[in-house]
Structure 1
């Protein structure tokens, strides 16, 4: 039976007449990487702060590690806030040890753990460097190591990739995978879909304070209209009349003179009928494949300012 480490039930947070979070419910299982996705201003940070007990909800119930408040179990949690900040004059190893000690690790063990983490992540040479002398990427690594030094069961990362260059983003992705392999449960918020697509076991999409989807990528794709990608030198106009074809989008010309098209199908349509129509029309295809929707496509459909028929269908599938 899957153990739930975090659950929200109809959580609301109002500021005057504004509902920053509006009836939000979801659950996170032990050992999974859970993506908390949404555009800027969607209510992600407000929700994370309610989970951590930094601000109280207006209504609803939050359970963290079997506690109705994060305060009694705070030593089992790790939190990397969106607003970064280190004590500028403190040295890197001292910083990690200090925060570990604050969370209950004995002083000597905290110092040892700090040096072990710096060694493990290639920062041993900077153990005595002052934080003010570190590059932005290194400083962010130090802050993350300070977040995990007490070996939390549940790790909450708010926009952890913000401001990092591609190399440091890749390093952080590897660290998140390592933490999962050690049995940690990880929640991270982001509005960059590539990270979530590569890392998440499941994800939640929130927009305007409301849940738009909760589940895995396969479930989201199943509710998304199927698409076909094909290449040909021939006109594809006859395919517009094929059963189930919703739209044909020209993607451009390839380097070898062919043209590439995307064919959007109605939900439940059979791609083989499109292939049959191509053969009957004498369209010579050099490539024909079914393409699953990217998380970016799904995110735009669900979190865009205007909800279309497709987004409504996906929300119904998630409920």
Structure 2
């Protein structure tokens, strides 16, 4: 059985931590070594070696770091550095939200190192189309109760307290407030998942800028691994409807919608998520 341990790699001016826990199929989850281990179940670790790795926008970057380095090429180098340092062979590359797009871009650039790709709550389009799709989905599919809860939560925000927070703390506070957009339970308190996270908002903005004109690159020459896309019915941030016009054009792809999940189905429907993922991995061997 794999023991729980942590590692650290340095690439250019960035220190990236990663955690390893569990035993079995190696799942390399990209994004954060703090946030993401909390979202995957203990049961999954009985069948998989869960490796959760930082990306530069979710660490406390030094002032010397150039935000121009935040791009898919550099991020793929970061992921590859973690994979090598952790002593992993071929991996199942996993990404949640926009980290799913990072996972996909890594798989395209490193096809011999990836056995499968898993994208969770990830958008197939750029930011403007994601926002437009989310607004439309909210208007047509959110219940009146959910809409009322969001309105009440936003009105209850202590604006004086919010103004005293750092930009990153305010970002987290807004995410927690906007629970009806992100969680199947519109009153869910996600503050615990963010505890200990330290990052610069300038880096978050630079990361999001990658998706201003994002195009989903998906061809058999650059992406050979099978891809699993998992979405939540009540994800009003990255709605599942974004995939409707895209999926018919994709090959070697499985799409699955979890009915009682929002943006983070691996946490919200852990058992169903685990069964789905492990079953799919077995079917694709």
TM over 0.5: no
Which has a greater percent of strand? 1
Q: TM-score under structure 1 normalisation?
A: 0.26
State the structure with more CA Rg: 1
Q: TM-score under structure 2 normalisation?
A: 0.28
